[in-house]
């Protein structure tokens, strides 16, 4: 069965600093990979996705993620964090081609002024 | 585009009553919708897959008779929590997949259910 690991439960960064959120997956082939953001009491918003092709994926709000097959990782990055980026971030994988995703446990991002 | 709505956004009900939550795809047709449950500070747990015109497929451990799902049309799925108990209090989120793109799902804003 596929699984997703987000090793960092909580990350705190200063506003303007760079950010990297880690995501590792367990699956034999290359699944579809997603990063979502969730603000308190809200649903999930898709930041970016990787299906195939260029392993560096650009998303919304200045986020990007890099797929590394050798490391089974899909880490999310942002060069300069804004206070409004404080939220919960979920990595997800889908190997079913049917939209049925497995989610990681999430990483809570706190941004210090 | 690809907007999913949920109604209500929050609901309080008494123990023993039933409550219905609606999930609508506003600008696309969704042959498949998913229902998730999320506890505070936790990840999303898939409850069931809802397919238009057929019975829902429930994940292991989810009570079919307690969480009734009806996908009546290509734009509407409903989740009814029957005989609700305080332990059913949670954040329920739906997502919908456009008919032609099977690997992208769009999420609703969620419904906060509190059972007193």
- pLDDT: is A53 or B102 the higher one? A53
- Contact list in A for residue B93 (CB cut-off 8 A) is 43-44
**What is the average pLDDT score of chain A?**
91
- The reported pLDDT for the residue numbered B101 is 60
> Stretch B13-38: mean pLDDT, rounded?
94
Contact B32 A44 (CB under 8 A): no
Residue of B nearest to A46 (CA): B106
A97: pLDDT strictly greater than 90: no
- The reported pLDDT for the residue numbered A49 is 92
- The reported pLDDT for the residue numbered A28 is 65
Range picked from A41-45, A74-78, B59-63 for highest mean pLDDT: A74-78
Contact A42 B109 (CB under 8 A): yes
Q: Which of A100, A104, A108 has the highest number of chain B CBs within 10 A, making it the mutation to test binding with B?
A: A100
Residue of B nearest to A47 (CA): B106
**What share of chain B has pLDDT > 90, as a percent?**
70
Residue given tokens 């079913």 in the structure block: A96
- Contact list in B for residue A51 (CB cut-off 8 A) is 103
User: Residue B95: which region, alpha, beta or left (left: phi > 0; alpha: psi -120 to 50)?
Assistant: beta
Contact A79, A86 (CB under 8 A): no
Cα separation, A23 vs A92, whole angstroms: 9
DSSP code per residue over A17-77: S-EEE--EEE-SS--EEEEEEE-TT--EEEEEEE-SS-SEEE-GGG-EEEEEGGGTEEEEE
> Stretch A29-40: mean pLDDT, rounded?
88
Which residue of B6, B46, B112 is in closest CB contact with A41?
B112
Contact B81, B110 (CB under 8 A): no
- Contact list in B for residue A29 (CB cut-off 8 A) is none
Residue of B nearest to A90 (CA): B43
pLDDT digits (tens, 9 = 90+) for B42-84: 888 999 998 888 889 999 999 999 999 998 889 999 999 999 9
- The reported pLDDT for the residue numbered A57 is 96
Cα separation, B14 vs A33, whole angstroms: 40
Which residue of A42, A51, A106 is in closest CB contact with B43?
A106
Contact B102 A97 (CB under 8 A): yes
A40: pLDDT strictly greater than 90: no
pLDDT digits (tens, 9 = 90+) for B75-97: 999 999 999 999 999 999 999 98
């Amino acid at each position: 069965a596929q699984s997703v690991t987000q090793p960092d439960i909580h990350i705190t960064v200063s506003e303007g600093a760079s950010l990297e959120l880690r995501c590792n997956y367990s699956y034999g082939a290359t699944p579809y990979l997603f990063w979502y953001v969730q603000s308190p009491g809200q649903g999930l918003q898709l930041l970016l996705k990787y299906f195939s092709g260029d392993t560096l994926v650009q998303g919304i709000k200045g986020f990007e993620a890099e797929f590394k097959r050798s490391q089974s990782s899909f880490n999310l990055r942002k060069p300069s964090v804004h206070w409004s980026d404080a939220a919960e971030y979920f990595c997800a994988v889908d190997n079913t081609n049917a939209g049925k995703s497995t989610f990681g446990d999430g990483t809570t991002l706190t941004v210090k002024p | 585009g690809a907007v999913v709505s949920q109604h209500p956004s929050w609901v309080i009900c008494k123990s023993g009553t039933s409550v219905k939550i609606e999930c609508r795809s506003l600008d696309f047709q969704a042959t498949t919708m998913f229902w998730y449950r999320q506890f505070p500070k936790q990840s999303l747990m898939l409850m069931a897959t809802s397919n238009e015109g057929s019975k829902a497929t429930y994940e292991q451990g989810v009570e079919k008779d307690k969480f009734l799902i009806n996908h009546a049309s290509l734009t509407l799925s409903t989740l009814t929590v029957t005989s609700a108990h305080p332990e059913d209090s949670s954040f329920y989120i739906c997502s919908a997949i456009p008919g032609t793109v099977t690997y992208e799902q769009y999420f609703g804003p969620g419904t906060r259910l509190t059972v007193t």
